[in-house]
Each structure stands twice: as C-alpha cells, then as structure tokens.
Chain A
Amino acid sequence: MMFGQQQWDLRPDIMSFAKGITSGYMQLGGIQISDEIREVMDSAETADMWMHGFTYSGHAAACAVGIKNLEIIARDNLVANAQLMGERLLAGLQKLLEFPCVGDVRGRGLICGVEIVKDKGSKEVDLAKTTAIQNAALARGLRTRAVGNTLAFAPPLVINAEEVDKIVDILGATIDAIG
C-alpha cells in the first residue's frame, strides 16, 4: 500500500501529502480533494471563488521529479520492500525489549519507534537517556531521531536486509554501552 490511510477503511474528503512524493529531491506537497468538494468549487460565483494558492503551487521542475519518483517507487517495488524490511526491522528492534530502559517497541510498514523509559513498570519517560542514545548511536554510525522519549526509525525504502540488521546491531550496542 502506497498511502498510510489505505491501511484502514477510510473515506477521505481531503488528504494532505508531502515528504516522500519527491523523495526530498525537490520541495513538493499537496492536498487531494473529493469530487464533492471539487463540485462546490466548480459551481461557485466568482465572488466566492477559492482564493487560495502559493507562488510555487504546481512548480514545474518539482512536479517532474514527483512523476519520476512515483515511477521509481512502482518500478523497483519499493512498497513491497518497505513492508518486508519493516517486518525485519520491527522483529529486530523487539529483541531490544530485554534492556531495562526499552519500554516499548512498535512499528508499521518501515516506520518504527523505540520508547526509552526510566522504569518498565512506571513507564516514566527518560528524555535524557533518549538523547544520550541518539547521540551515541550517531557516533557509532547510525542516525536516529529522538522524538520526545521515542527513538524514531524510518530509513529509505531501498534499504536491504543487511542494512536493517546494522540498525538493530548499532542501536543494541549503543544501549548496551549506555546501560
């Protein structure tokens, strides 16, 4: 599934998107609107026209990159790879639950989060340790991001099994060293 919302039985009226549409090679985002909303725009008097838009809406070069990016994601089966590698990453990170400071490990697709706590029972957040692990992991060659007390993982969809294992190994060694 290409879109997160497709994992549930939703009927969106408006959907925001950005980020991965160009893989970051150009700046691009947007919204998609339902036919019902479109119809309301098409039937408006000019006094009530939709007075909204940006200088860079529909930027030609950004859109050209977006087209190619979607083509690459489909051609190289990156959605399927993300699912496969995501399962491997989640399974690997779940092994870290044996550390006293790892309170929760969760994930969906190729996005995972590892919550760092002071105590598994009280679930009290440990912001200082989360930042310490983030910085120590970087020194060991792994970039993660402390989002509150959660270490976030969302690697490129082209990641392979060996690289997924590397994430788990480096994070495990980092937590082991920090204690």
Chain B
Amino acid sequence: MTHATLDHATVVEMDKKQLHPVYHPSIHKDPLVVERGEGVWIYSADGRKILDGMAGLWNVNVGYGNEELPRVAYDQMRNLAYTSNFSGMTNPPSAELASILAGMAHPSLNTTFFTSGGSESNDSAFKTARYFWYRKGKKDKIKFISRRAGYHGITVAATAATGIPRYHTMFGPLAPGFIHIAHPLVYRYPGDITPGETVGQAAARARRGDSAGRPGYRRRLHCRTDSGRGRCHCATRRLLPPGPRNLRPL
C-alpha cells in the first residue's frame, strides 16, 4: 500500500488516533493533509498547491522532492541503516560527517556528538556544560541563562530553558537552574535607542542613568529579569535576533 493513494477523508479519519505536537482540538479540526512536495511547494490530498513559506519547521533547506538524498539513504540503509554507536563502535557515515563538521562552524569546535533533534541537542549541551565544571571541581556551577521569548525545545530541561511561560504553566515544576533575562527585540524595547546602538547597550545606558536612557527603565528591566516573578512583558513568543553582543558582558 502506498500512502499517496489514501484520500483526504480516509487520512483525516485515521488521524484521529494520532496525538499531534502542541495539540488542541480547535486547531486540528480540518488538518492539511500533505501528500507530496516539490521545491518550495507542498501538495495536499484534497488537491491544493501551497507555497511552504516555513520550509516545514524552518528546516527543509534543499526543498521538497529532492532525489539525491533518498538515494544515499537507500544505499546506506541497504548496507547498514543503523547499529549501536556507543563507545567502542562507530560507522563510516557518522565518522565522515563528524570529520566534515570539524572546524566548519568555528575553529574551536572540532568534536561533534550526534542526536536526533534540537531538544536532545540542547539537553546534551546543558549536561555537557555541567560535566565540564564538575570535572573542573566546580560542582555548584550549574546555572543556565537564556532569553525570555526564546524557544529551546520541549524536553524537561529544554522546556525550562525556553523563555515562554505558555510552555511552562501546565508542566511544573520546571527543572531547576534556568534563569531568564530580557530579550533583545528592538521593536518592543520601551526606552530610546540611539542610532547604531543595540538593545543591550541602550538598556545598559538606561541603567547607568545616562541622559539618553529612559529613567523608568531600570525598574522594568529588573522585573523582566527577575526569573519567574513580576510581570512578563513578552507572554507570547516572537521572532527575535539573538543579539549575542548583549550577552558578551555576561
């Protein structure tokens, strides 16, 4: 049976047995049944052609319907789809990909550990950071600082790192050790930003009480960064530039 032959109504009926991510029945009454894709286009079982402005979930870089990727997947699966990769064993594709990635993102990043997604990656990063300090004899160096409004995934630790209260409310208590600080969205910054200045620089200037800064911002900034308490100014997630220059001084 090929899945492409199932019509819209059949899929929707069978789909009632599936629980989808971030689920509420009101947004899943009439799901879009995506049957195939080509380039930036997806095609639904009820005959619609849709430009996918989101590349799935920000990830279908080479577009849909690529023929080279399934070919290498087929060849690799015929040879060896999977076997244990725990210490003491390895396989040619994971070794080759690690060697390709060595130094690619930054000269200091030469070792790669593989996961199956972003939440697993972030949990791995948190545990590895704690491991590093444990090994350095600083067992109490366990805190993580993340931005309000930032999304980091849905595992227990990644949920705690995520700075969006909507993801927390119904799943408490949060994993301890995660602190949220203000986000760098220019549009939502309540003070004045002078040309060429980042939000972080403007906020720092406001805290110092320089004339161009808004005097009232100090209090508001405090309540924003006061983890878990005070009024949150960003109850909804927005798309933000990471603004790492603001993070530097931390």
A residues lining the B interface (CB < 8 Å): 2-6, 8, 10-20, 22-38, 40-41, 44, 48, 50, 52-54, 56-70, 72-73, 76, 78, 103-104, 106, 108, 111-113, 115, 123, 125, 127, 138, 141-145, 147-150, 152-159, 163, 166-167, 170
Known contacts A20-B59, A23-B61, A156-B40; is-contact A141 B113 (Cβ 8 Å): no
Known contacts A108-B241, A147-B237; is-contact A64 B117 (Cβ 8 Å): no
Tell me which residues across on chain B come within 8 A of A66, comparing CB atoms.
Answer: 93, 97
Measured CB to CB, the nearest residue on chain A to B164 is A148
The answer, yes or no, to whether B4 is at the interface (CB within 8 Å) is no
The answer, yes or no, to whether B173 is at the interface (CB within 8 Å) is no
Known contacts A25-B69, A50-B131, A57-B113; is-contact A63 B51 (Cβ 8 Å): no
B residues lining the A interface (CB < 8 Å): 32, 39-40, 42, 48-64, 66, 68-70, 72-73, 75-77, 79-83, 85-86, 90-94, 96-97, 100-101, 104-106, 108-118, 120-122, 124-125, 127-129, 131-132, 134-136, 186-188, 236-239, 241-242, 244-245
A70 contacts B80, CB within 8 Å? no
B113 contacts A33, CB within 8 Å? yes
A50 contacts B114, CB within 8 Å? no
Known contacts A72-B62, A73-B61; is-contact A56 B109 (Cβ 8 Å): no
Q: How far is the CA of A156 from the CA of B239 in the complex (A)?
A: 18
B62 contacts A59, CB within 8 Å? no
Kindly identify which residue among A6, A48, A157 contacts B62, using a CB–CB cutoff of 8 Å.
A157
